[in-house]
Every structure is written in C-alpha cells, then in structure tokens.
C-alpha cells in the first residue's frame, strides 16, 4: 500500500519551500523504500529551488541522506530491509558506453526509481537528483542504496551522499592529488572543505584555502588548510603564487561555480597543473579566456561530477576512515534541524553561517 509521509517541496521558482504530505508508492521491481534518518542541506537544493537546475517543479528536495531500507521490490538482491544505507545519485547501469569501457564513474544512464512520488492530489514530484530525501520515507532505485558500517552516525554518513563525497573526490579522484603536492581550494563551504580533507588525506604538503568570509577560512584551517587567503581583501592569484614559490599550485579546486573564481583557479595553478571545477555554474554564466593561455599553460582542466566517485567503492571506505578517526566528517555537521526548518537553513547557508545543516528524523 502506498504510504503518506511528510516531505519538503519546492512548489515553484524562488517560492518558499513547504512541508507537504507526499505519497510514496510501494517499491516496484528494482526499487526500494528507505526510511530516511538524516539528510543534509546542500547548495544544490537551493539551486533547484531557484530554478537553476531545470523547470520541472514541484521538486521534492533533499539528496544527502542516510537511512534504513524499509522494503524492496521484486528482483532486488543488493539490499534488504533493515540495511543501513547512504543514498547515492550514481546507481550505475553497467551497459552504457562509459560503463562498457570500464569507467562506470562516468555512467551516462544512472538508475532512479521508475515510479513517481506524488502530492496527495496526484501531482508528480521531481525528486532532487533522483532522491528526494527531505522526507520521512523516499522511493529510490535499489542501486541508489549503498550499504555502509551501521555504527556511523546517520547525520555524518548522509553527507557522503553528495557534498562531502563531491569535495573529497574532487581532490583524490578527479584532481589525483598526490603526496607532496600543493593544492589551493577556492570556496570553503561544505564542498570546498571536503576537498581540503581529501587533499590532506592524499598527502598534499601545502593546502591553501581561499574564501571571501573569514569565518569560513577559520573552519578551513581546522579541516587541514595550511594557509588561508581572503580574496575580498587580497588578490587570490598573486597570493597563491606567492605561497607556492611564485609558480602556482599543482592542483586548484574551484568549489564556488562562478566564472571569476574559475578564472582565478586557471591562473593560480602551476604550468602543467590541474584545475578541477566542482562548483556548479548557472545557465547564463560565460567564461572567456585567451586561447593562447589555455594552450600555453598546458596541464588539464577538468570538471568533477560527484567527485568522480563510485559509491560502492568510496562510501564504505570513507565511513571506515571516519570511524578509525583518520578523517573527521563530524566537523561538517554545524547543526541538526527539523523538516520544517529547511527554508531557514537556506537563509543561514546564504549568510555563510553553516557548513551543513542536517535534517534529522
Ligand atoms: N560537482 C558536484 O558534483 C557538486 C556536488 C555538490 C555540490 N556542488 C556545488 O559545489 C558548490 C559549493 O557547494 P557548497 O554546498 O559547499 O556551498 P556553500 O554555499 O556552503 O559554500 C560556498 C562557499 O563559497 C564561498 N564563496 C562565495 N563567493 C566566493 C568568491 N567569489 N570567492 C571565494 N569564495 C567564495 C562562500 O563564502 C562559501 O564559503 C555549489 O555550486 C554546489 O552546487 C557540486
Ligand atoms: Zn552506465
Ligand atoms: Zn548536493
């Protein structure tokens, strides 16, 4: 029987989000219903609400979540009721051209639930990133459930479902940061700080945090930044070069998603260095660079979707490292809030007051 639960819906462009009763169908073949225990508020949820991703309103927001599988549909073997899981937005298909070439982290045909969750009047909801977990329960494809050590706190585990994985993966997977490298991270919110944690884990010798907010730079230091630059008062490219022997960093990670910060990243890296764009731009943004500089500076310019992660490989590994005390993912949870507080959490994110607000159930 379909169930009715409470969930946070974005009804239209820039309209305040509201808690609504939503209808969650029983899982069909290949699907699972998950009782959500925690779901972080990511900047991408705000992008959805602002119409920055697409116009498929109403959205069921929330996508950085952990919970317990309640029921599974026909043919599901990878998870069973009672399993503690992190929800992922990369349930790989195994059949697309990326998967067939052995690069499933780029899968172009990831799975989501086939059935739709709806409002009580039957209006179909678009779940954010195919998840929709600001809800007591949500319907996903079984492959979106990644089992991890159940002794970890759900509020911490959920963050690996998006922003923290995106940041750590931008450093260790996309940027391929290695021992002794110099790394600069522009934008030290949840994603940028996670990139700092990833760079440190990979053995970077120098980690330069850049932000426009001194509070963010303080937190970045506690996450592992060795140097900080406030780019409101200091020219970021010159400062990063000065901190790297005049040359620029080996890897620069852009975690804001704006042309001007991308340009800083482009010029703040050493010759033959790597730029990783993990911040998400909006449709009207344009980038202009001298082509000769693109050629002459060499190296690689990469985008990082979800930290190029493979959930089945990376989530359990990062939970284990956290449980062993080798990374501190708890530091990303600034506050825990209720389902009715998401709009307030967006405002606090906008003010720069939080790394992550996490809805707990
Ligand atoms: N690529 C992916 O897979 C992926 C996944 C999750 C989130 N994201 C994106 O990553 C970006 C960051 O997300 P977040 O949750 O950390 O957001 P956030 O709002 O918590 O952090 C953004 C940070 O950037 C700083 N900032 C803003 N303007 C700046 C500037 N001009 N120079 C330097 N710093 C500046 C802010 O002070 C803040 O600390 C967003 O665009 C988000 O959509 C990407
Ligand atoms: Zn695929
Ligand atoms: Zn996200």
Determine the Cα–Cα distance for residues 259 and 279; give it in Å rounded to an integer. 10
The band of 282, judged by pLDDT with boundaries at 50, 70 and 90, is: confident
Output the average pLDDT for the chain: 97
Q: How far apart are CA 5 and CA 102, in angstroms?
A: 39
Domains and CATH numbers, the chain: 3-161+328-360 (3.90.180.10), 167-304 (3.40.50.720)
State the Cα–Cα distance between residues 67 and 23, nearest whole angstrom.
18
From the CB of 195, is ligand 1 less than 6 Å away?
Answer: no
Confidence grade of residue 1 (pLDDT, cut at 50, 70, 90):
confident
Q: Decide whether any atom of ligand 1 lies within 6 Å of the 163 Cβ.
A: yes
Among the bound ligands, the one closest to the CA of 129:
3
232-252 per-position pLDDT tens digit: 999 999 999 999 999 999 999
Q: Which of 335, 307, 316 is nearest to 155 (CA)?
A: 335
pLDDT (mean) for 75-94: 97
Q: Whose atoms come closest to the Cα of 93: which ligand?
A: 2
Q: Is the CB of 273 under 6 A from ligand 1?
A: no
Atom 25 in ligand 1: which residue has the minimum CA distance? 187
**41-51 average pLDDT score:** 94
Over residues 175-234, the pLDDT tens digits come to 999 999 999 999 999 999 999 999 999 999 999 999 999 999 999 999 999 999 999 999
Average pLDDT, integer, range 68-75: 98
User: 302 CB less than 6 Å from ligand 1?
Assistant: no
> What is the position in ligand 1's atom list of the atom closest to the CA of 264?
32
- Cis-peptide into 272, omega within 30 deg: no
**What span, in angstroms and rounded, lies between the C-alpha atoms of 164 and 63?**
12
pTM over 0.85: yes
Is the CB of 231 inside a 6 Å radius of any atom of ligand 1?
yes
Q: Is the CB of 193 under 6 A from ligand 1?
A: no
Share of the chain above pLDDT 90, in %: 98
Residues 186, 252: contact at Cβ < 8 Å?
Answer: yes
Considering only CA atoms, which residue is closest to atom 38 of ligand 1? 189
More confident residue, 135 or 350: 135
């Amino acid at each position: 029987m379909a169930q009715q639960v409470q969930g946070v819906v974005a009804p239209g462009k820039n309209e305040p989000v509201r808690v609504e009763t939503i209808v969650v169908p029983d899982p069909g073949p290949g699907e699972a219903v998950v009782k959500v225990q925690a779901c972080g508020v990511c900047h991408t949820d705000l992008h959805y609400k602002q119409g920055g991703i697409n116009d498929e309103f109403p959205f069921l927001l929330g996508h950085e979540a952990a919970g317990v599988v309640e029921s599974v549909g026909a043919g599901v073997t990878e998870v069973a009721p009672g399993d503690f899981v992190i929800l992922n937005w990369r349930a790989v298909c195994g059949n697309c051209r990326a998967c067939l070439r052995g690069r499933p982290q780029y899968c172009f045909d990831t799975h989501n639930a086939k059935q739709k969750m709806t409002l009580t009047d039957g209006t179909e909801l678009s779940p954010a990133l195919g998840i929709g977990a600001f809800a007591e329960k949500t319907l996903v494809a079984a492959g979106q459930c990644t089992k991890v050590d159940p002794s970890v706190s759900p509020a911490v585990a959920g963050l690996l479902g998006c922003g923290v994985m995106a940041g750590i993966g931008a450093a260790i997977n996309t940027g391929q940061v290695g021992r002794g490298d110099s790394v600069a991270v522009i934008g030290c919110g949840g994603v940028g700080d996670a990139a700092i944690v990833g760079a440190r884990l990979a053995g970077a010798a120098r980690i330069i945090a850049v932000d426009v907010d001194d509070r963010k730079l303080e937190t970045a230091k506690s996450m592992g930044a060795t140097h900080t630059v406030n780019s409101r008062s200091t020219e970021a490219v010159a400062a990063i070069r000065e901190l790297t022997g005049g040359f620029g960093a080996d890897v620069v990670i852009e975690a804001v998603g704006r042309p001007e910060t991308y340009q800083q990243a482009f010029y703040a890296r050493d010759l033959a260095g790597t730029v990783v764009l993990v911040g998400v731009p909006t449709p009207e943004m344009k980038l202009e660079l001298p082509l000769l500089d693109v050629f002459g500076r060499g190296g690689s310019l990469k985008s990082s979707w979800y930290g190029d992660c493979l959930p089945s490989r990376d989530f359990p590994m990062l939970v284990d490292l956290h449980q062993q005390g080798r990374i501190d993912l708890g530091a990303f949870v600034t506050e825990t809030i209720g389902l009715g507080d998401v709009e307030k959490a967006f405002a606090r994110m906008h003010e720069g007051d939080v790394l992550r607000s996490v809805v707990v159930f």
